[in-house]
Amino acid sequence: GQNIDQPTEMTATEGAIVQINCTYQTSGFNGLFWYQQHAGEAPTFLSYNVLDGLEEKGRFSSFLSRSKGYSYLLLKELQMKDSASYLCAVLPNDYKLSFGAGTTVTVRA
């Protein structure tokens, strides 16, 4: 089976930066996704990394190191609306997305 680990909860202050780490051990690797999910809603796509390095997209950035089986999602200039669950998901050899348990981020004023 696939193993994807990420912290359960994180809390940060509005305007601050939060980094959500994700480590994975999977049968093959065809990319890593980050999704944002608000309570009661479906996940929305944030980023996709398949090569090592940092991908920046506005306030959100995602980093990947394939040799370390490691990724992080960086959220900058946090806003209250960023309070949500953030899901790390890996696409292994069978091309079936395998999700981590999700990290609940709470942004405080």
| Residues at the interface with other proteins (CB under 8 A) | 30-31, 33, 35, 40-45, 48, 50, 87, 91, 95-102
- Closest to other proteins by CB, 24 vs 35, is 35
CB closer to other proteins, 60 vs 76 = 60
Task: Tell me the Ramachandran region of residue 25: left when phi exceeds 0, alpha when psi lies from -120 to 50, beta otherwise.
Answer: beta
**Running DSSP on this structure, what letter comes out for residue 109?**
-
Amino acid at site 72? Y
Which residue, 17 or 101, is less far from other proteins as judged by CB?
101
The string of DSSP codes covering 35-103 is EEE-TTS--EEEEEE-SSEEEEETTEEEEEETTTTEEEEEE-S--GGG-EEEEEEE--TT---EE---E
Minimum gap (Å) between residue 102 Cβ and other proteins:
5
Shortest Å distance, C-beta 15 to other proteins = 27
| Shortest CB 87 distance to other proteins, Å | 6
Closer residue to other proteins, CB minimum distance, 18 or 90: 90
CA distance 40 to 28: 31
**How far apart are CB 31 and other proteins at their closest, in Å?**
6
